[in-house]
A and B are shown apart, each in its own frame.
Chain A
Amino acid sequence: MNPSFESDELRGLIDALCEESITPDQLHRLEELVLADPRAEAFYVQYMSLHADLSRHFAALPGRAEQSVRQRIVGPVPGESAAARDGRGWLRPLVVLGLALAAGFLLVLGLWPKPIVISPRPSDPASERTDDSVAVLLQTHHAEWEGTGMPTHPGAPLPPGTLNLKSGYAQVQFYSGATVVLQGPAEFRLISRTQAYCSRGKLRATVPPHAQGFTIGSPTMDLVDRGTEFGLDVGGEKTDLHVFQGKVDVYGPGAAAKSPPRQEVTTGQGITASGAAAPTPIRTDPAAFLTGRELADRAAEELTRWQAQWEVDRRALREDASLLVYYPFQTDQPWSRTLRDEGGGKAKPLDGAVVGCAWGNGRWPGKRGLELKRVSDRVRLHIPGEFNAITLAAWVRPDALPNQNNSLLMADGWDPGGLHWQIGIDGTIILAVRAPPELEGGPYQRGAHYRAFGVLTPERFGRWVHLAVVYDPGAAAVTHYVDGKSVAEHPILFDTPLRIGDAELGNWNVAKYRNRTPVRNFNGCIDEFMLFNRPLSGDEVGRLYTQGRPPG
């Protein structure tokens, strides 16, 4: 066979195919040529194979098939996987192990939201906002905190101040790069990006070379790190230092950098000091100090157990006939364009259509969610009928509120009874209802806007939050909930049946109403949405939050 067979016509048609601009007529002609001559067929196969290889060679990421195979091997995306549907159960023992390891790995890689500048927007636009945080709380495990005014949720930027960990574990990373795993009970003061003080408790510090000079003070000694990993145990009058790797300079308390070091402790050495007495050597015990990796593994194991319970809870939830729409945002198929509705109580599911968006990680590793970033991103849905009462609930991770209004769920257009659930640019959550025609011209001609002010402020960006709103004509009240707690309650302004009809999650379609569309796309991730056609009680909303909140 002569593989160099070619004709300009054949080559031209294949080029059109490669550039994805071929017309049906051209495609037909291409088939004729290929089927008429085995040499043309060979040329076609070789040429397309080259095109495919080129595409793979230049794609920055592994192919989607590879990604999904890796994902499948590590463990099925929990939830309504095929395995769960046909009753085989979604957790196979080794899958659990794989999932736990993968989750731990993700935690170690720093899956948590990045710190955000936290000062309020300045009134003078010329002055730049500032941020006084010095570290980030990477992860926690069974952490119980004594309130000291410091943020305690994973991912939180930490300003200088004292962390009081009553029990459990917490991993803190200073902006200099040094990482500390604290074991409660511990009292640990953050002083700057390169300095901390431990008045009691156990910690393991890992200091990369570029963070050399990281200093931890304690009642009996000050330590200046020279690029290393060490454990510190401060209890009462006694302080133990275990150097696992590298070198630590030991000073008298409060003496660091003022005088030459009292002592150098290097790899495999340990010392204990109590009161003013000279330190004495001890054996190092690496196992006594939890590493970041071990912490991540424990968290992952707990997550796996928690997920099993979550599955049980949500199965029970699906039995609730008033749960009209339930999008768990779980799919085995990251390319899927369908958002499956698993709500009970109706013959036909109200599946949503994913437009744009990218499937990403939801609120825990392994949970799927939809990333919305661009003005095109949205989920189209249709919810027929009229409602007297309604409850909307969603897990969302707002990354920013760039638009005047940022959609959660919005009925197309703005028609009588139409429902608009959205977030204002200042973080106010708004449920708006359009007044019926007979009220047009009156005080409610712009509709009713039930607001919860100042909920999603910038320091909450990048974190998962559970939002719910209950419209209850029985109690004549609209109540907003954030993380299961009521944050605002308003009397209902007028009676009208609520309508949703054609609608969008995370965006708004003004439909026939106008040609120019205001930009209202949500910016962040959504990984769960529920619509009940009844008012949920405060306890029930609280349960949705506690059942849906992953540990950590």
Chain B
Amino acid sequence: MAVDADIGHENSGSPADASDDRPDKSKVFLRLFLQNERRLYAYVLTLLPNRADADDVLQDASLVMWDKFHPESPPDDFAAWGCRIAYFKVLDFFKKGHRARVRFSQEMLERVAETAIEQAGVLQLDARRDALAGCIEKLPARDRDLLARRFTPGATTKSTSDQIGRSVDAVYKALARVRRALFECVQRALAREGRS
């Protein structure tokens, strides 16, 4: 993927011109960013499948987006624009010798990075996100509770199993089962939409 060489470099303008556009810029940027935050996070996690690392990288990337963002000429597709910046930051993350907990090969990174942007429509990533919320509501309370505990900041499979008094293996399998059920629920929801 082609990446702007200077994307990481901060170059917001002088104090005078920064003040002229700032109130507008804050509002416009924040709205776009929040609209696309989940999509951006999913993108980063797909390339760097560790939540803590992905959080770090997205945070870094978000500040670059803010610095690069000009409200008078916003990007046509904020998500794609943001993903490209995030991609650069993922590479940066590896380059800086962070001890990444999971590290894909360059080939894998390039392929997946491109697919996740270029094929986002075909893969129905946004529609899936919408459908997921409905599927989560249909989950039994017990499964929802399990997910809530698992996704508490800092929680692991192990800490979740300690909390609910089941074995790590049982929790692991339960989480895999819930994800599978949700994935299938999303598939069915999209298939229904497709028919109607």
Contacts and interface: CB of A to CB of B under 8 A. Distances in A.
A335 B63 CA distance: 13
Contacts of A1: 122-123
A70 B30 contact: yes
A64 B63 CA distance: 11
Given A41-B111, A69-B66, A333 B104 contact: no
Interface string B81-105: 0000000000000000000011111
B190 to A, nearest CB: 8
B70 interface: no
B84 to A, nearest CB: 16
A52 B38 contact: yes
A46 B29 contact: no
A92 B19 contact: yes
The prevalent SS among residues of B at the interface is helix
A477 interface: no
Given A49-B129, A93-B19, A54 B151 contact: yes
Contacts of B111: 34-35, 41
A210 interface: no
Among A53, A57, A61: residue with most chain B CB under 10 A: A53
A41 B115 contact: yes
A100 B104 CA distance: 44
Contacts of B156: 20
Given A19-B157, A61-B153, A49 B37 contact: no
Given A48-B45, A52-B41, A65-B37, A34 B148 contact: no
Among B60, B123, B186: residue with most chain A CB under 10 A: B123
A354 to B, nearest CB: 14
B41 A56 contact: yes
A37 to B, nearest CB: 12
- 3 nearest A-B residue pairs (beta carbon): A52-B42, A58-B151, A65-B62
29 contacts: A1-B123, A15-B176, A19-B172, A27-B103, A27-B104, A31-B105, A34-B111, A41-B115, A48-B46, A49-B125, A50-B132, A50-B179, A52-B41, A53-B42, A54-B132, A56-B41, A58-B152, A59-B151, A59-B152, A65-B62, A66-B33, A66-B34, A68-B62, A69-B63, A82-B10, A88-B15, A92-B18, A95-B22, A332-B63
Interface of B: 10, 14-15, 18-19, 22-23, 26, 29-30, 33-34, 37-38, 40-42, 45-46, 49-51, 54-56, 58-63, 65-66, 101-105, 107-108, 111-112, 115-116, 119, 122-125, 128-129, 132-133, 136, 147-148, 150-153, 156-157, 172, 175-176, 179-180, 182-183, 186-187
